[in-house]
A and B are shown apart, each in its own frame.
Chain A
């Protein structure tokens, strides 16, 4: 089983604060992490490998040079090999352009690794953009089937079976290989790196692919290749806090609140 996990380095959005004077995001000092959902995707891949030691896991990302750090984190928790696709021509890509780059990277890595990928994992969504589009778009570029929002993935013969979360419960789907699977928060937590595996990952060589290193049409990448354009960004207006009540007893507070709810017409 050959597995590719697409990961993205993102700012830790729980650490982001708004500058009250300029009303903009304070990005300085915000740590970069491997996108949370990608860590679940990687763990799902590593669990498959635990059961099938012949499996191989490659991780890839498109991003700036710093994204090597994120790839090293992945190597320390079970990935076998890592590639970074990095080129000025890729900067400013929206999801259509990003997924196009990744689809070209997939073809190139299959050549370099000498075998096609059976399973391509993505996270359900990246926590910076929150779009969740790259996985299904990658599947479409490659003309592969897709399973999104998976919680559990088990190989079965030449197929895979996945439990997919929906608003109404779950769906169990089977797909032929190759397939793109996007992973949501799983019941299990990603494993930690050991001191030894961290050191090995730090020493690992990460191959960087520029646009010149593989077959890609740069007209379809970056800002040029992106049909969507960000027109403006702004900090959302939160509504001002209303009444705050600190009563002696719960009973008093409850009575006042009931009166408020009745006045507001919601009960």
Chain B
């Protein structure tokens, strides 16, 4: 085990740029490597990734390992896992952090299984035991009712996926430089048995970047009917935020699943989260309780959402929402 050293952060790339979560993870990555005196490396796989490499340097990586090539133009489970496994065999990192995105949660388990090591999924807390070097991976289970701290004491690398938005991005320093290591890893013929037929980005309105939003206004079943999402949208617009939803609103067909926040939707960590007509079921809280400031508007004074809200308004959304939109318009003017 002792030949395994240094912590890697996998930098997921979208259209040439680093996704936020990879840059966020360089923060706890730095903290943990400093604690044990190791190096922090970023791993970038793709094609046309200069922008992402620059960001990884600016956000604090000491070293950036780049596997670039036509084989990596589009994400595929098998090609990316192959590249990560090759790199791991060669450089032997002790720890790998991966964003718990649809890509990270697709690649992570395939990688850890091939390496016969442990993976802790969807973490929300990261500490390192400086004596053993074991990362203390903390994650929610049972729909957020329970937290578990997990270790991978006997195998390396120890791997974890970490939820987007849990760690805040540090300040970038464009003048920082990092050692760049380029690896040419052609994917052997026959490795990839899936083909990407089509990639459908959500329509502009629906391409909600909930995970990266600073302000989210979410609507639930308490809106009463789909038309009332317009009230939520109006408020989001004056605040410069985006629209989220509870599962009940999504299941009712009022809004697409891309907007869903919670255990089976997205995990968000905005500066401001406004829950409108949402009861605050544990599965919903699992996705948003990490928000900095939480506002709840609900008719029922005993709704559980008030237990996590910094500021709650007991009232009817149909009345409060338009009034709030007006008040904020006035404030901003």
Contacts and interface: CB of A to CB of B under 8 A. Distances in A.
Interface of A: 11, 13-14, 16, 18, 25, 94-96, 99, 127-137, 139-141, 144-149, 161, 164-176, 179, 184-185, 226-236, 238-247, 249-251, 253-255, 257-258, 260-262, 264, 266-267
A250 B292 CA distance: 24
B145 A235 contact: yes
A239 B289 CA distance: 9
B145 A254 contact: no
Interface in B286-333: 289, 292-293, 295, 301, 306-316, 319-324, 326-328, 331-332
| Chain A CB within 10 A, most for which of B106, B107, B117 | B106
Contact of B195 (A18, A129, A140, A174): A174
27 contacts: A95-B109, A96-B113, A96-B116, A96-B118, A127-B263, A132-B122, A137-B113, A147-B77, A148-B77, A166-B103, A172-B196, A173-B197, A227-B154, A229-B153, A236-B147, A239-B289, A244-B301, A244-B311, A246-B313, A251-B323, A251-B327, A253-B323, A254-B326, A255-B323, A257-B327, A258-B331, A261-B295
Interface of A is mostly: mixed
B189 interface: no
Contacts of A166: 101-103
B110 A136 contact: yes
Contacts of B320: 250, 253-254
B201 interface: yes
B119 A170 contact: no
A14 B315 contact: no
Interface string B93-136: 00000000111011111101110111111100000000000001
Given A137-B110, A167-B102, A250-B319, 16 more contacts: A131-B121, A133-B121, A147-B194, A167-B101, A169-B199, A172-B200, A176-B194, A232-B149, A236-B140, A241-B306, A245-B313, A245-B314, A246-B314, A250-B320, A258-B327, A264-B310
Given A130-B141, A133-B119, A236-B147, A241 B194 contact: no
Nearest to B253: A187
A145 B301 contact: no
- Rank and list the top 7 A-B pairs by shortest CB-CB distance, nearest first: A227-B118, A250-B319, A254-B323, A228-B118, A13-B143, A145-B193, A133-B109
Interface of B: 14, 77-78, 81, 101-103, 105-110, 112-114, 116-122, 136, 139-155, 192-202, 207, 211, 215, 239, 257-258, 263-264, 266, 271-272, 281-283, 285, 289, 292-293, 295, 301, 306-316, 319-324, 326-328, 331-332
Given A25-B142, A168-B207, A266 B292 contact: yes
Contacts of A232: 148-149
Nearest to A253: B313
B122 A130 contact: yes
Contacts of A18: 145
Contacts, number: 272
A165 B112 CA distance: 23
A192 to B, nearest CB: 17
Contacts of A139: 77, 110
A250 B316 contact: yes
Contacts of B319: 249-250
A236 B292 contact: no
Contacts of B144: 236
Nearest to B305: A241
Contacts of A146: 77, 106, 110, 194
A24 B110 CA distance: 33
A267 B136 contact: no
Contacts of A260: 311
Contacts of B211: 167
A229 to B, nearest CB: 5
A136 B272 contact: no
A266 B271 contact: yes
B257 A165 contact: yes
Contacts of A233: 141, 146-149
A130 B263 contact: yes
B331 A132 contact: no
A251 B149 CA distance: 46
B302 to A, nearest CB: 10
Contacts of B307: 238, 240-241
B105 A235 contact: no
Contacts of B306: 241, 244
B150 A228 contact: yes
A234 B140 contact: no
Nearest to B124: A236
B308 A238 contact: yes
Given A99-B113, A145-B193, A253 B315 contact: yes
A13 B145 contact: yes
B152 A228 contact: yes
B77 A185 contact: no
Contact of A235 (B102, B146, B295): B146
B283 A14 contact: yes
Contacts of A168: 14, 201-202, 207
A235 B147 contact: yes
